[in-house]
C-alpha cells in the first residue's frame, strides 16, 4: 500500500472522535498530507504539533507539507486550513478529505476528488477492510459526535446496506 491523501482539519477531528479512528484510516492510507495551517489547528490544545502527533500515535501517518495558497481561492470565505489543504491537494494531484460544505464546493469546482470520513467508511467496507457491523458502528460514532447529520448518516448507511 502506498496510498496518500491530503486532509483538512475536520476529517482528522472526526477520526479523533471515533474509537481507534486513526487505526481505521491506516487501513486505507499510508500517509496523510496536511498543510501547516491544518497542523496548527489540530495541535491547538497541545504544547506543540509533535505532542499532538505523539498523543495520537500518528507520527508516521501525518506528514506536514508547506504550500502556497492558490490565488484563485476565495480567502474571504475559506479558512486558512481549507485554502491550504485545497492548494496542497491540487499541487500533489491527490484526493482531499474535507467536510465543510463550502470548501467541498470549491474543491469540486477545481476538479478535486473529495471525501469525508463517512465516505471512507463506505470505501473500507467495499474493500472488505471492515465488516458491516464495524461500518455501522463507526457511522453511529460520527453521528453521536455530531460529525455528520442524520441525513448523511441515513444516506451512507443505505450505501453500505446496498453493497452487502
83-108, pLDDT tens digit by residue? 999 999 999 999 999 999 999 999 99
What are the strands, taking DSSP E only, across 21-64? Answer: 31-34, 62-64
Total length of the chain: 164
User: d(Cα 106, Cα 109) in Å, to the nearest integer?
Assistant: 5
Does the pLDDT at position 72 exceed 90?
no
> What is the bridge-based pairing of β-strands 96-97 and 62-64?
unpaired
Collapsing DSSP to helix, strand or coil, 147 comes out as coil
DSSP state of 68: P
Query: Lowest mean pLDDT: which of 25-29, 37-41, 77-81, 160-164?
Result: 160-164
Amino acid at each position: 500500500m502506498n496510498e496518500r491523501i491530503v486532509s483538512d482539519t475536520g476529517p482528522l477531528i472526526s477520526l479523533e472522535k471515533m474509537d481507534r479512528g486513526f487505526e481505521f484510516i491506516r487501513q486505507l492510507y499510508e500517509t496523510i498530507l496536511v498543510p501547516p495551517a491544518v497542523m496548527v489547528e489540530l495541535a491547538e490544545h497541545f504544547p506543540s504539533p509533535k505532542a499532538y502527533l505523539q498523543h495520537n500515535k500518528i507520527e508516521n501517518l501525518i506528514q506536514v507539507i508547506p504550500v502556497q495558497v492558490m490565488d484563485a481561492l476565495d480567502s474571504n470565505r475559506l479558512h486558512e486550513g481549507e485554502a491550504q489543504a485545497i492548494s496542497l491537494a491540487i499541487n500533489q494531484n491527490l484526493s482531499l478529505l474535507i467536510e465543510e460544505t463550502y470548501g467541498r464546493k470549491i474543491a469540486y469546482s477545481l476538479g478535486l476528488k473529495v471525501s469525508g470520513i463517512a465516505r471512507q467508511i463506505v470505501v473500507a467496507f467495499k474493500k472488505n477492510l471492515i465488516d458491516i457491523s464495524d461500518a455501522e458502528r463507526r457511522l453511529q460514532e460520527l453521528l453521536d459526535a455530531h460529525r455528520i447529520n442524520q441525513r448523511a448518516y441515513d444516506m451512507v448507511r443505505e450505501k453500505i446496506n446496498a453493497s452487502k
